[in-house]
Amino acid sequence: MAINPTVISVLLCMFYSCLSIVISCGNILVITSIFYFKQLHTPTNYLILSLAVADLFVGILICPFSMSLTEASCWYDERILCKIRGSFDLALSNSSILHLCCISVDRYYAVCQPLRYSAKINNNAVAIMILVSWSLSVLIGICVMIIGFQNDKCTESCSFDVQIAPTFGCILSFYFPAGVMLCIYLKILQVAQSQAHIIQKTTCPGTKTAITLSKTETKATKTLAIVMGVFLICWTPFFLCLTFQPVTKYAIPASAIETLSWLGRSNSMINPFVYAWFYSWFRTAFRILISGKLYKGYCRNSKLN
């Protein structure tokens, strides 16, 4: 039995609306928590905050654009909206992976070179990382919008196929930074395991603080590695699909590419739940914000654990 196109449009609009609300609310919690609570004012958390801003833009920009493009009929400036949505999509996905690269560098110094961490990773260094990540991402988005999409005329869907050579674009914006992150985290894992063996052999009572700090850094590294893993799981199918488009002579349906792109966008919804699940201080901060205790007293210096 054929489904009424109007019903499909309504269901898609409901889906985009729900996803937009969940993405926006989750990342607003992360951003507000890091801004407000002094305990969360650390270089690593500033990178997480900037990553949450990129995820928030997915909720407040990409979802509404997609909602406006659910109609199959052709209407004025639809192609321009397709360009804008596509450029935002690629800019924000590149921003996410560049932020994750910066976070992996932060974790490398925290675990592998702890004595140099405070000198190498400070607020100024993090500000430069954030500025470079956003600048490159915006530049990529502008280039994509200028070049335009493959479909020059109105079609039944807002195609995601870009005229840039897909393989080169995917290698530059996804595979290369993903490979760099994996190498860094493998090195971190190797060093963390070595440190764990050393700590187990240490019996001096005075090493309690060092052991606690090592466990904290290891937990933070594992959590952020999970964030990176979730990102790769969500976005790899989409970029693989784009990579093999030329090989298949663009035989992969636009609907399949669009579905995989939404799997990638779902990553913006998952990250806040990962932080809440693994970080006790984020859970406490979220609880204070959701319960409204923030408005009942001065909680800025509250101990979040």
d(CA 56, CA 36): 18
Q: What is the pLDDT of residues 173-196, one digit of tens each?
A: 788 888 888 888 888 888 877 776
Q: What is the pLDDT of residues 84-94, one digit of tens each?
A: 777 888 888 88
Q: Which residues pair with 162 in a beta bridge?
A: 149
Q: What share of the chain has pLDDT > 70, as a percent?
A: 75
**Candidates 1.20.120.1200, 1.20.1070.10, 3.40.710.10, 3.10.450.230; correct CATH number of 5-295?**
1.20.1070.10
Higher pLDDT, 289 or 79: 289
Which region among 39-53, 122-136, 203-217, 228-242 has the lowest average model confidence (pLDDT)? 203-217
- Long-range contacts for 59-65 (Cβ within 8 Å, ≥24 apart)? 59/19, 59/20, 59/21, 59/22, 59/23, 59/24, 59/27, 59/268, 59/269, 60/20, 60/24, 61/88, 62/88, 62/89, 62/92, 62/265, 63/16, 63/17, 63/19, 63/20, 63/23, 63/265, 64/16, 64/20
d(CA 156, CA 305): 52
Does residue 167 have a pLDDT over 70? no
Does residue 217 have a pLDDT over 70? no
**C-alpha closest to that of 72 among 159, 157, 10:** 157
**C-alpha closest to that of 173 among 242, 109, 233:** 242
| pLDDT at site 129 | 95
Q: What is the pLDDT of residues 12-38, one digit of tens each?
A: 778 878 888 999 999 999 999 999 888
| pLDDT at site 247 | 77
d(CA 183, CA 176): 11
| pLDDT at site 297 | 61
DSSP state of 156: S
Read off the pLDDT of each residue in 277-281 and give the average, rounded to a whole number: 79
**C-alpha 136 chain-centroid distance:** 15
d(CA 285, CA 191): 31
Read off the pLDDT of each residue in 121-147 and give the average, rounded to a whole number: 88
**Cα separations (Å) of 299 from 25, 294, 296?**
21, 6, 9
To the question of pTM greater than 0.95 for the whole model, the response is no
The angle at the Cα of 160, spanning 90 to 24, to the nearest 5 degrees, equals: 50
Q: What is the DSSP string of 225-265?
A: HHHHHHHHHHHHHHHHHHHHTTTTTS-S-HHHHHHHHHHHH
Q: Which pLDDT band holds residue 215 (cuts at 50, 70, 90)?
A: low
Instruction: Look at phi and psi of residue 292 and say left if phi exceeds 0, alpha if psi is from -120 to 50, else beta.
Output: left
| pLDDT at site 72 | 44
Q: Which pLDDT band holds residue 199 (cuts at 50, 70, 90)?
A: low
